[in-house]
Amino acid sequence: MRLITLAIVVAPLLIAGCVDQEFFVRQNVTYDRYERDFVGCATRATQEVPTNTQVGWMPYVGVYSADTNAALRGKNFELCMRDRGYQKVKMPYCQGDKLKAATAQAKRPQDRGRKMTINKASCWVGKPDGSPYLFSGA
């Protein structure tokens, strides 16, 4: 029974990791600058649009909670990133030889001074810490 429950919980997570994802990118920005901009915008969005958790009850669902400000906070974050010159692009999960190369690169210590170069051959994989690694495809 535990094995079936584990399979039901883990399978969707594994499948979700292998689909196209949207990322904010800006050509020729260093990954250090990218991380600072990303965290700065996330912090600003959280400060300007704080969590507003509402608790409710529904038949067949029971007690649930929802953050009614989540969509507005997401839009605030998106506008902040666009103001800093980023654009949102959809990127595929790496496959085949690119998957092997990207996974190997993602496991190495990262050079924060490396510049982001995204092109049509770019794809992404998950790093060991669970965060995405954007692979240039070259």
Residue numbers of the domain that contains 88: 21-135
Give pLDDT tens digits for 13-58.
444 557 899 999 999 999 999 999 999 999 999 999 999 999 999 9
Q: Answer yes or no: is 4 within a domain.
A: no
Please indicate, yes or no, if residue 110 is contained in any of the structural domains: yes
Q: Convert the pLDDT of each residue in 91-135 to its tens digit.
A: 999 999 999 999 999 999 888 899 999 999 999 999 988 889 999
Q: How many domains does the chain contain in total?
A: 1
0.85 exceeded by the pTM? no
The number of CA neighbours under 13 Å toward the Cβ of 15 is 6
SS (H, E, C) 5-47: HHHHHHHHHHHHCCCCEEEEECCCCEHHHHHHHHHHHHHHHHH
Q: Does 6 map to a domain?
A: no
DSSP one-letter code for 120: T
Do the domain assignments include residue 121?
A: yes
Are residues 91 and 20 in contact, defined by beta-carbon separation less than 8 angstroms?
A: yes
Confidence band (pLDDT; 50, 70, 90) for 3?
A: very low
| Residue 2 covered by a domain | no
- Whether residue 11 is contained in a domain is answered as no
